[in-house]
Amino acid sequence: MENPQPKPTPPFDTVLLDRLMLERGLDVLLVSSKHNVQYLLGGYRFFMFDYMDATGLSRYLPIVAYPRGRPDLTAYIGNPNEAFERDLGQLWPANLDLRARGSVDAMRYALEYLTAQGIPASSVGIEMAFLPADSFAVLQSALPQGAISDCLEILESLRAVKTIRELDYLKTASEGVVDAMRATFAGIVAGQTKQDIVETLRREEVGRGLMFEYCLITAGTSLNRAPSDQRLKDGDIVSLDSGGNFRGYIGDLCRMGIVGTPSPELEDALGAIEEIQQAARVPIRDGAIGAEIFAATAPLVARAREGRLSFVAHGMGLIPHEAPRLLADGPIPYPAPHRHQPLQAGMVLSIETTWQHPRLGFIKLEDTVAVTGDGCEAFGDSCRGWNRAGT
């Protein structure tokens, strides 16, 4: 363990985290997911393993050890090359152990630190979905009588209300994605493949300072959303549903385009989706109950006479579908404890309406909105109609 620095200042709400840990009876957290390590380290993500974790016969596994009530004893277990980042002042914890080359030794160093500092570890919180089996085996062997439980929901609750900086990052990501879509639609011509269009969108997002993550794309009347060699024809509609990442925060939006001129029926279909999207925004405000969003949209969704029309709302931030979790029966299954709780200013939601129409094809809008004191603010809120190819 390297020499400590004086008076570290955690970049997160330690009072809230301590309370959440106390409610669950946890002595210490050993945080290992890339997104939660980034959050606890105030935005830091090691550049060398930003894209790939594998190295040798193991993987890069950063660990933040946080003892309840003692933020000054927070430790970071990292890779030796992170000494370069330490020298640049990128790491706030006073207690750094930058020796770990893999997942087993990272956990061993974390446990050595807890023992050396006399930190109680009878009840440890880990991220079950983000801790390798060999690392978990080391932990379990060292604490045969200790209680080990999942702390993912604690960390989600800690991250649920965004700071001004986080809101700025999400706005930048969202606006960048939509601007990239506008440029991509403008360059579409009949004969291009779906893969060609996705590659154009990737370049446009990267050119705007985003890390391109994915694009779900449909063309014509097909409901298949994978990039492929399907070629566009005159009159085809195109949906672009893409995630672009800015400093770890996700802009995830969907917009529609067409090769040609939309028919009145297409205009009406997208108009019906837009009506649902706008209705969803009406109840969103600080103190509103999450269920109010679905109550506002349900009558409009029920109007559909053909195909499948659906509405989803979920939290957005460092990952999609984070707190607040509002929908237990949505496309991604998880409990929805926040559906009947008040929204808070600073929470960020994705609202999305999808129509899988048997004759017209796949039509969708997805928006990102931040909860404010008296309503909501939409990020990247342009290009909402039919974006005509080549214009």
Task: At 189, give phi and psi (nearest 5°).
Answer: -135, 155
Count CB-CB contacts under 10 A for residue 390.
Answer: 12
pLDDT at 95: 97
Q: Determine the number of helices (DSSP H) and then strands (DSSP E) in the chain.
A: 10, 16
Contact between residue 62 and residue 101 where contact means Cβ atoms under 8 Å apart = no
pLDDT at 329: 86
- For the chain, strand residue ranges (E) read 28-31, 54-55, 58-59, 63-67, 75-77, 95-97, 123-126, 147-150, 211-219, 237-246, 249-258, 308-315, 348-357, 361-371, 376-379, 386-388
pLDDT at 1: 55
Into which CATH architecture does domain 14-159 fall? 3-Layer(aba) Sandwich (3.40)
For the chain, the structural domain boundaries read 14-159, 164-388
pLDDT at 7: 64
Contact between residue 167 and residue 346 where contact means Cβ atoms under 8 Å apart = yes
Q: Determine the angle formed by the axes of helices 133-142 and 103-117, rounding to 10 degrees.
A: 30
- With a cut of 50, list the residues of the chain below it in pLDDT: 5
H-helix or E-strand spanning residue 361:
strand 361-371
The structure tokens listed for 58 are 């193991």
pLDDT at 305: 85
pLDDT at 2: 53
pLDDT at 390: 86
Please tell me the distance from the alpha carbon of residue 326 to that of residue 321, in angstroms, as a whole number.
9
The sign of the dihedral angle between the CA atoms of 165, 171, 173, 175 is: negative
The structure tokens listed for 279 are 């209705």
pLDDT digits (tens, 9 = 90+) for 258-275: 999 999 999 999 999 999
pLDDT at 19: 98
Q: What CATH number does the domain located at 164-388 have?
A: 3.90.230.10
pTM greater than 0.85: yes
3-class DSSP state of 269:
helix
For the chain, percent helix, then strand, then coil, each to nearest 5? Answer: 35, 25, 40
Task: At 44, give phi and psi (nearest 5°).
Answer: -75, 135
